[in-house]
Amino acid sequence: MTNSPYHPRIDLQEAINRSRTALRIVANTWPDESLPAILRRNLDEALNAIPALAAEVERLSVELRETRIHRANLAAAARATLNAHRDGERDPLSYLLDELQAQGYDAERRA
């Protein structure tokens, strides 16, 4: 598996804009009580959820990018460790330990 960047298949800002447009259409098309209250409430709740969902998708995509970078760095450290062991270096695990420490793991406590 390659460490390719994540690109959302949908335009999140466009989804937010469309939800705002839909809210305006609902409000302007049925300004009075002609639309049943439960239907209006369900439409409003669904359309108002879109910006929060888009923000969560963005947050998760940032977290995914960071996780992929950490995974790639650990893989590189593991390869360096194996090569150092093969080459007879005195402390081949230092590569892996350094990377684990850089990622916030306490190698002594095995956290």
Token representation of residue 3: 């460490």
Q: Is the pLDDT of residue 14 over 50?
A: yes
* The amino acid at 78: A
Please provide the DSSP assignment of 11-42 as one string: -HHHHHHHHHHHHHHHHHHS-STTS-HHHHHH
Distance CA 76, CA 99 (A): 9
Q: Residue 111: what pLDDT?
A: 43
pTM of the model: 0.68
Q: Residue 2: what pLDDT?
A: 57
Q: Is the pLDDT of residue 110 over 60?
A: no
Distance CA 95, CA 72 (A): 14
Distance CA 95, CA 74 (A): 9
The tens digit of pLDDT for each residue in 18-67 reads: 999 998 988 888 777 778 888 888 999 999 999 999 999 999 999 999 99
